[in-house]
Amino acid sequence: MKKATPKYASVLVDINKIGTKTFTYLIPDNLKDEIKLGQAVLVPFGRRKQGLKAYVAGFSDYIEEGIKAKEISEILEYEPLFSLEYLKLLDWVATYYYCDLQTVLNTALPQKFFEKNVKKYRKPKKEDMIFSFKEKEQKNTLTPLQQKVYDEMVKVNAKTSLLYGITGSGKTEIYFKLIEDCIEKGKNVIFLAPEIALVSALTIRTIERFSSDSVAIWHSSITEAQKYETWKKLKNNEIKILFGARSAIFAPMKDIGLIIIDEEHDSSYKQSMPSPRYHAKDVAKKLCEIYDAKLVLGSATPSIESYYEAINTNSLFKLTSRYNDASLPKVVIIDMKQERNEKNFSLFSRTLINNVKETVNRSEQVIFLINRRGYASFSKCMECGETLSCKKCAIPLIYHNRTNSYKCHYCGYEIKESDAKCDNCSSTLLEHFGMGSEKVEDSARLTFPDFRIERLDSDSLSKKNEHIEILKRFNEGEIDILIGTQMIAKGLDNSNVTLVGVINADLSFNLPDFKSSERGFSILTQVAGRSGRGEKQGKVIFQTYNADNIFLDSAKNQDYESFYEGEIELRELLDYPPFSKMIRILISSKSEFRAQKAVSEIELHLSDYIKKLSLDENLIVLGPTSCVLSKIREEFRYNIVIKNKLDENGFRTIFRFLKSIKLPSDIKMTVDIDPMEIL
């Protein structure tokens, strides 16, 4: 018997200034046998004569009483552009991260979809330069250790595997072997990397290995037209390997057999702003569940949570030596306080200066890491001692020498140096303190005037693909010293780099956050691993003003397991992840009094609610407290943090409470599930 056709269709419409919304329309009799989930349709909307393009997202037989539904006008595209599985994924994201489906769709769908006549959209003017690289005939083979690890991974056949390999151990070769296996089975691959520069480098290596015919990229720096073009190829199953940053997890890849997340520990996989505040790793796990696919996580410094889970599920696989038994770099820690006592006021220690000269004179290359952008990290009034701060945020302005201006890296506020004056006494006598990548670059050019120096950070990139051009010139030996932020700490594989200098090595450990030690250890270990990746011996110099920092020794020895043992004990003692799931409730308002009053009332009612359910030992409420970044974009910010030891049941309990809250229009509430930082 023929199945009855539903009476109504829920469609997704993109409305100017509002975003993607869902509306219900009546299915006319002439379309009932043809309409399908995911099709593009034309619908009447408001007073528009021509109607709007929309997508069918679901069906029903009923609508709310009193609502008169308009009819769908016509089907624009008979071939569905997304599937039921795809909508299931987006619905899960909306539920888990406490936001509505429309918000998720705004993130997932290229807005080109909502143009009425897609044939008129402006196609990409030229192909991305990445795809100009050619396939190389040489095929690399696995070393005995890599083969052993690969065989173990295939034998265990875990849904989620963690490939822990020290820097330079050759994790990418195992990825390639797993990709070959997947493609041979007729399945497709999603490959994620945390930084756009790393996405580009991995894509080039993959093209050289597999050719560019069935490879595509997807991240925030490609245009909407390029996304739409890629989406069409994905729909037609023309793409076998999709590379991208976190947003690529929403691309509608068909027949997924494998998802690889390289540098899985990286905080870039978590979207903090705007909503949905998703983590690509957790979305990937759900996607693998839907498609019965495999997830492979890889890192030299895995997240504490991933390492703990892998140990407890027998899915941890280790590469404990470098490719072809290359030796780890020698690491030296330099106490900059001692350098100053001995009258060296340079940004560079004498040891680092001498080693740089020796390295470049041997025609080898150097990397300098400073994990902060700009020229100076803060500026003070020399008359009254006041720090120059952002007008909209309660944080110091960063001085940028290239633009002669002070900038806020949170709200974008900027003031020219010629217009700057002290807010307290109006003095223009301002002095710069601290340092960023600009200052390191300027000092390097003065200290090493005969060497070729470039800087790679988000401030230095003025045009598309510039990062690819800089890395290409660096890999071809046209740059002697490459200076950058954490963008250069991951994934760079240049066998001619034999010296890495870390300026202010303890900088990342100083944030008041439960993950600060993990982030600091990770970035030092990762950047140290850029040195000595070929046959030449590498060296790393950590410059620090806190030589007693216990994590520096672990990073110096690339001893992740020692670091993990200490950190997991502390996490268990304090009920931090992986022993709980975190929920952050952020209350903000332009009135400090109103924000403080609202957050206090919410915490009081929340604590009472949890106690009445007798769940206070498993849902632990911290706060309310003023955020470390207490004011951003003219709004005062207060935190409530919940340690949830009940997993999904705990989330559901907290969500029921949050849905009962009615806030006045001048108070904002942000809910962040599994936050990567609490600032």
Q: pLDDT, tens digit, for every residue of 265-302? A: 999 999 988 899 999 999 999 999 999 999 999 999 99
Residue-level pLDDT at 302: 96
In whole angstroms, what is the distance from residue 9 CA to residue 31 CA? 11
Band of pLDDT at residue 535, cut at 50, 70 and 90: confident
Question: Mean pLDDT across the stretch 550-554?
Answer: 80
Q: β-pairing, 241-244 with 215-218?
A: parallel
Question: Mean pLDDT across the stretch 41-58?
Answer: 83
Contact 393, 413 (CB under 8 A): yes
The pLDDT of residue 578 is above 90:
yes
In whole angstroms, what is the distance from residue 281 CA to residue 279 CA? 5
Residue-level pLDDT at 461: 64
In whole angstroms, what is the distance from residue 40 CA to residue 231 CA? 14
Which DSSP category does 14 fall into? E
Q: What is the mean pLDDT of the chain?
A: 87
Alpha carbon distance, N-terminus to C-terminus of the chain: 60
Contact 509, 520 (CB under 8 A): yes
In whole angstroms, what is the distance from residue 199 CA to residue 204 CA? 9
The answer to whether the bond into 276 is cis (omega within 30° of 0) is yes
Burial 62-96 (b: 16+ CB within 10 A, else e): eeeeeeeeeebbeebeeebbbeeebbebbebbbbb
Q: What is the CATH number of domain 8-117?
A: 3.40.1440.60
Question: Mean pLDDT across the stretch 403-428?
Answer: 90
Contact 259, 248 (CB under 8 A): no
Count Cβ atoms below 10 Å from residue 108 Cβ, excluding itself: 20
Residue-level pLDDT at 515: 87
Q: Which residue has the higher pLDDT, 631 or 459?
A: 631
Which residue in this structure is represented by tokens 């890599």? 146
Contact 332, 542 (CB under 8 A): yes
The pLDDT of residue 130 is above 60:
no
Count Cβ atoms below 10 Å from residue 623 Cβ, excluding itself: 20
Reported residue count of the chain is: 679
In whole angstroms, what is the distance from residue 131 CA to residue 220 CA? 18
pLDDT tens per residue, range 580-593: 999 999 999 999 99
Residue 41, helix vs strand vs coil: strand
The pLDDT of residue 171 is above 80:
yes
Band of pLDDT at residue 58, cut at 50, 70 and 90: confident
Judged by average pLDDT, the poorest of 101-105, 115-119, 390-394, 667-671 is 115-119
Which DSSP category does 326 fall into? P
Cα-Cα-Cα-Cα torsion 136, 139, 145, 151, nearest 10 degrees, comes to: 120
> How is domain 326-374+435-561 classified at the CATH fold level?
Rossmann fold (3.40.50)
pLDDT tens per residue, range 187-237: 999 999 988 777 877 888 888 777 777 888 887 777 777 887 888 888 888
Band of pLDDT at residue 452, cut at 50, 70 and 90: very high
CA-closest candidate to residue 269, choices 670, 625, 675, 604? 675
In whole angstroms, what is the distance from residue 385 CA to residue 397 CA? 15
Q: The pTM is what?
A: 0.86
Residue-level pLDDT at 64: 78
Band of pLDDT at residue 135, cut at 50, 70 and 90: low
Contact 342, 414 (CB under 8 A): no
> How is domain 581-673 classified at the CATH fold level?
Alpha-Beta Plaits (3.30.70)
In whole angstroms, what is the distance from residue 144 CA to residue 173 CA? 12
Judged by average pLDDT, the poorest of 55-64, 105-114, 250-259, 534-543 is 105-114
pLDDT tens per residue, range 339-355: 999 999 999 999 999 99
To which CATH superfamily is domain 129-323 assigned? P-loop containing nucleotide triphosphate hydrolases (3.40.50.300)
Domain boundaries, the chain: 8-117, 129-323, 326-374+435-561, 378-433, 581-673
129-323 and 326-374+435-561 in the same fold: yes
Residue-level pLDDT at 1: 42
